[in-house]
Structure 1
Amino acid sequence: MSNPVVAERYALALYQVAKEQNLSDKIDEELRAIKKVLVQNPGFISLLQSPKLSVVQKRNLIEQSLPNVSSPVTNTFMILADRHREDVLVEVAESYINHLNEERGIAEATVYSVRSLTADESKAISAVFAPKVGKQTLNIENIVDPNMLGGVKVRIGNRIFDGSLLGKLDRLGRQLTS
């Protein structure tokens, strides 16, 4: 079975448990934090995949690394370790977040800007771009890129809305050369 399918199954099971126990928001926060740490530290997953570690050692490592995490998340990660599926930890987190976002009408967005966005600017961007992708609101991650010169570039899924000055200059240059 391919990794996305495996990750989807575990994420869906975790999502259902979270809904039953009214822990959806807490687990969402935990998985976002865990995903961020795992992406920044890929060596942890490599360590968990090591054939030198027994399943018991892997379980202990997960338990020690995630001491304040809810039991559904810990148990899911333990099951993944038991079944030698440590490679899908990040995908499980992403899939869970996607399920919760879909239920709530939220889309994940990355906004590139010259400076950090204020809360009001984030709300305004969410109000403008969420309807364009059929969602109620956006969960915005702001990335500061001083090379843009001005404006913003919004990435939602595989759609990019480029309103940056650099993007406009690039489009103008292409028009002039064609």
Structure 2
Amino acid sequence: MADDFRTTEVGERYAQALFDLAEEKGVLDAVRADLRSLRAAWLESADLRRLATSPLLAADDQVKGLVAIAAKAKFSAVTQNFLGLLAQNGRARDLTAVIAAFEALYAKKTGLVAAEVVSAQALTAAQLKTIQTTLRTTLGKDPELTTRVDPAILGGLKVKVGSKLFDASLKTKLDQMKFALKRA
């Protein structure tokens, strides 16, 4: 799935290695920014997803492709080398898990609270500000918001903070009604 950013054991191991190296080199924020850009590109580009996940592509081709993308995007040398190593080791398909695990490590180290907001349509600045204010009140901290549009939810919102998901989407409500009607 294009937007499946969940940690895995392999992703956590690679993310820890990248995190430690970035911290040692003093480029932690730069690597995080690179990975956030890469995450956005992953969500937008079917070609990038195919490059990283296709079993038909040789590891050498994945290395060349990912390093070229990283160089074109002007990612830090640490990120560029890491992406090359990931592909060389046949783990390019684990990129989303690495990104998710890296974000978790970064949040733990910095005390950052990240929240993902999914809506059926792009949110206005006023709506985002309301969500930010509500989350600040609820969490006691300023969350870092990322937004994503998913027309499949039909309406409403899904808000994920850490492992907690608040699902007020129209699709979920309709599914719950359908389930309740089947049981009646």
TM-score by length of 2: 0.68
2:85 to 70, 75, 79: 79
1:17 to 18, 21, 30: 21
Q: Aligned letter for 2:52?
A: I
Once the two structures are superposed, what CA deviation does each residue of 1:121-149 show, in whole Å capped at 9, x if it has no partner?
Answer: 3233123235646754141305375943x
Q: Which residue of 2 aligns with 1:27?
A: 31
Q: Which residue of 2 aligns with 1:140?
A: 146
Measured in 1, the distance between the counterparts of 2:13 and 2:132 equals 30
Q: Aligned letter for 2:98?
A: V
Taking the TM superposition and a 5 Å limit, the aligned residue runs for 1:139-158 are 139-143=145-149, 147-148=154-155, 152-156=156-160, 157-158=163-164
Decide whether aligned partners of structure 1 residues 127 and 62 sit closer, same or farther in structure 2, where only a CA change above 3 A counts: same
Once the two structures are superposed, what CA deviation does each residue of 1:27-66 show, in whole Å capped at 9, x if it has no partner?
Answer: 2221122123234322111457624x5x4x4433332222
User: Which structure is larger by alpha-carbon Rg, 1 or 2?
Assistant: 1
* Aligned: 1:88 with 2:94: yes
Taking the TM superposition and a 5 Å limit, the aligned residue runs for 1:94-109 are 94-103=100-109, 104-109=111-116
Decide whether aligned partners of structure 1 residues 165 and 80 sit closer, same or farther in structure 2, where only a CA change above 3 A counts: closer
1:158 CA displacement: 4.3
* Aligned: 1:59 with 2:88: no
Measured in 1, the distance between the counterparts of 2:27 and 2:17 equals 13
Cα contact 1:48–1:58 (8 A) shared by 2: no
The 10-residue stretch of structure 1 (152-161 or 87-96) with the greater mean CA deviation from structure 2: 152-161
Cα contact 1:130–1:137 (8 A) shared by 2: yes
Q: RMSD of aligned C-alpha atoms?
A: 3.6
Q: Which residue of 1 aligns with 2:3?
A: none
Structure 2 residue ranges without an equivalent (≥5): 1-6
Measured in 1, the distance between the counterparts of 2:154 and 2:88 equals 46
Measured in 1, the distance between the counterparts of 2:177 and 2:8 equals 40
Q: Aligned letter for 2:114?
A: A
Q: Aligned letter for 1:30?
A: D
Q: Aligned letter for 2:57?
A: S
Cα contact 1:110–1:140 (8 A) shared by 2: yes
Structure 1 residue ranges without an equivalent (≥5): none
Q: Which residue of 2 aligns with 1:125?
A: 131
Measured in 1, the distance between the counterparts of 2:158 and 2:52 equals 31
Decide whether aligned partners of structure 1 residues 8 and 110 sit closer, same or farther in structure 2, where only a CA change above 3 A counts: same
